Structure 1
Amino acid sequence: MNRAIKGETVKRHHYDSHDQQRSHLSGFLVAVNLACRLKTLSSLAPCEYNCNIWVSGSGRFSVNPIHQMPGQNTW
């Protein structure tokens, strides 16, 4: 994972300040954590798992979880 982070952020982009690098790194980590598939969730990404629970109507959510996720909501 560290190699992927370094290759996608530090080696690919030039940053003028540490704050710019920190903001880009935090955005990259959020995107990776939302997109990675986990074995404990039956090989689903966390956002896909939440959407499946919402669709099943189990009553765990009072608000649609898709509206709470950062980024483009294109589900």
Structure 2
Amino acid sequence: MVQLRHGSAHPTPAVRRTTQRNQASLPTLVQRHGLDSKTVVKRRRRTTTQDAGMGPTPASAVLTVAKEAIAVAFRLPTLRPLDDCLYALQATIPHLSRLALHRRFQR
């Protein structure tokens, strides 16, 4: 069964494995799979078939890395609820909001 895909669809993991492992020439793979030559070259360099992450890494706009570490270090051994952690940490981090703390714990 042939799977029809639109022009800007990502290659399937099977196609990614084929382009990585196949020793065929670049033009042959480009024509066979309908990919751009730059895509085939890029895929051959990678060690995994997963898509590379695009965009910024999630980080807090409110908390610094050190303050995030304090919040996590407080939460892990105690396993306290979010509100308890918030009230205990607000003495150390005055501008800490419930939302910022919740987002940090989610990450």
Q: Which structure: greater helix fraction? A: 1
From the CA coordinates, give the structure whose radius of gyration is larger.
2
Give TM-score scaled by structure 1 length: 0.30
Give TM-score scaled by structure 2 length: 0.23
